[in-house]
Amino acid sequence: MTSPILPSFTDINLDAIGTHSGRVVVVLSEPGKLHPAARRVNKLMRGALVRFAESDAFEKMKDGDTQDIAWPTGLQAEAVQVVRLSPRADDDVARKAGGTIGKALLGKDVLVLAGALKSADELALGATLRAYAFDDHQTNEDAPEGGSLTVMVSKPENFETTPDNIKALSEGVFFTRDLVNEPANVLTTTEFAERLIALGDLGVKVKVLEEDELEALGMRALLAVGQGSESPSKVVVMEWLKGEKGAAPLALVGKGVVFDTGGISLKPGAGMEDMTMDMGGAGTVSGVMKTLALRGAKANVVGLVGLVENMPDGRAQRPGDIVKSMKGDTIEVINTDAEGRLVLCDVMWHAQEAYKPAAMVDLATLTGAVIIGLGHENTGVFSNDDKFCNGFLKAANAEGEGAWRLPMGPGYDKLIKSHKADIKNVGGRAAGSITAAQFLGRFVKEDQPWIHLDIAGTAQLSAESPLAPKGATGWGVLALNRMVKDQYEG
Ligand code: BES
Ligand code: MN
Ligand code: ZN
């Protein structure tokens, strides 16, 4: 687990620049234009910064691009990092520019000379988010530890609340990343539930529903997925009801398959290790709840996650089995690897029965097909409500989290019609992400605003991205937190 390195914002102190022994970051906006702290760096470097700022190399840099000048003369620093960023740059560009700072932040003392940059808070957030490593399981690596981030600005009083805000956001995102990165022998359903119970310390009301309770509720579809595993299936309910008393909450529902072998419809071996991330939906829901609690959001939000493991076993469900969902609809299980929808349909139904939510969002690493369609840049978004959906897309866009709406429609339902049961759990190769959404849509009550987010391509990446190292991204925590803030508070 990595604790975020939180920024502190200080007055400009020119004398502290030359003696700083870690890294010094200079934000420059335009060729040749230096703010007072940058001028001090230039003077110490005997004009080298101005030479760079007036060079073709700088001219060619775009907002957010960066260049290291290693072991600079005249400073104690091991490097001067120049980040080009105009004061007019969008927030998400400033944040991604911060990512270039965060990449070298772990284990280092970094001093950022931001001048009068208004988006210095975004820059700092980006740095904090990028300074994450999942190295708990590396024993002989000298993993960098600690680090500090000091941002010199002309008006630190403008950033008084920024460190607390960055703490709430980054701890939520890191919580999600830790859960998603954790291997399945560590993050069993029981361990997952334990980590959620710990959110109780922050004021989240956490309830764990065990198998006998799930049985009593009629969640046979969810239980069927987990019946081949030694780990007991669980549903964890997290309540954060600090908004208007009695007002219907927003419900967040997450797929939490701690490992997806495919079950009896076993997946091919190559790449199967990636299925440790198949609890990504549950991971994001958990991270959002943590952020809401840390910032004391005045909103009513409930998070429900279905925690199961999909294993092949003598007790595992078989292709051809017919299970009854909590709603009462029967499902023919054609492929035991299409397990996420079996988990979600019961948790979504329970969420609606128990909370009559004002709106519901489910998140799931649901289909490989969404990766074929959208790659790793965008989450697949499905909805039955344009207004609700557009509000979410706006929030995602503002946070720089890719999201792209895909269609739904009754025409797709024929692909998942079963001749033995009410519905079958797969629809063939065509429109695989849409038929999955159609399946879920059957478990959404009439007039219930709903968004389904297929995060199979975005929850985890095989290469680093501007704000995260290779591995879990925490996609969706920031967008959902923003949506709550913009639409469910005050
Ligand atoms: N967890 C997978 C989807 C997935 C694939 C997530 C790749 C992340 C990366 C899901 O349970 C699954 O196996 N889906 C099947 C559905 C099919 C059997 C209809 C798939 O996408 O192949
Ligand atoms: Mn599967
Ligand atoms: Zn799965």
Task: Measure the CA–CA gap between 184 and 89, rounded to whole angstroms.
Answer: 41
Domain spans, the chain: 7-160, 167-487
Q: Tokens 């419809």 map to which residue? A: 265
**pLDDT computed for residue 270 by the predictor:** 98
**pLDDT computed for residue 144 by the predictor:** 86
CA distances from 345 to 15, 425, 476 (A): 61, 11, 21
What is the Å distance from ligand 2's center to 261 Cα? 7
Average pLDDT over every residue of 341-367: 99
Report helix, strand or coil for 325: coil
**Number of other CB atoms surrounding residue 439 within 10 Å:** 27
Tell me the pTM. 0.98
Tokens for 4?
A: 């975020």
* Residue in 272, 337, 452, 458 to alter for ligand 1 test, most ligand atoms within 8 A of Cβ: 337
**Is residue 458 within 6 Å of ligand 1 at its C-beta?**
no
**Number of other CB atoms surrounding residue 37 within 10 Å:** 24
**pLDDT computed for residue 113 by the predictor:** 98
Tokens for 97?
A: 């520019």
Average pLDDT of the chain is: 98
Residue 249 has pLDDT above 80, yes or no: yes
Average pLDDT over every residue of 4-8: 98
**Is residue 467 within 6 Å of ligand 1 at its C-beta?**
no
pLDDT band at 446 (very low <50, low <70, confident <90, very high): very high
Average pLDDT over every residue of 267-282: 98
Catalytic residue among 267, 298, 324, 445: 267
pLDDT in tens, 131-184: 999 999 999 777 888 999 999 999 999 999 999 999 999 999 999 999 999 999
What is the Å distance from ligand 1's center to 448 Cα? 26
Question: What ligand 1 atom has the least distance to the C-alpha of 367?
Answer: 21
One DSSP character per residue, 403-437 reads EEE----GGGGGGG--SSSSEES---STTHHHHHH
Q: Tokens 């840390």 map to which residue? A: 294
pLDDT band at 379 (very low <50, low <70, confident <90, very high): very high
7-160: CATH topology: Leucine Aminopeptidase, subunit E; domain 1 (3.40.220)
Task: Measure the CA–CA gap between 191 and 225, rounded to whole angstroms.
Answer: 18
Tokens for 284?
A: 């994001």
Residue 490 has pLDDT above 80, yes or no: no
Alpha helices in 114-231, H assignment, sequence order: 120-130, 162-181, 189-197, 211-217, 220-226
Tell the residue nearest (CA) to atom 17 of ligand 1: 338
Question: What ligand 1 atom has the least distance to the C-alpha of 277?
Answer: 8
Tokens for 413?
A: 């339902």
Helix or strand (DSSP H, E) at 304? strand 300-310
What is the Å distance from ligand 2's center to 219 Cα? 18
Average pLDDT over every residue of 216-237: 99
What is the Å distance from ligand 2's center to 257 Cα? 9
In the chain, % of residues over pLDDT 90: 97
**pLDDT computed for residue 243 by the predictor:** 98
What is the Å distance from ligand 1's center to 77 Cα? 48
CATH for the 167-487 domain, from 3.10.20.810, 2.40.160.20, 3.40.630.10, 3.40.50.970: 3.40.630.10
Pairing verdict, β 7-10 and 148-153: parallel
Tell the residue nearest (CA) to atom 3 of ligand 1: 367
Q: Verify whether residue 267 is a known catalytic residue.
A: yes
**Is residue 456 within 6 Å of ligand 1 at its C-beta?**
yes
**pLDDT computed for residue 2 by the predictor:** 78
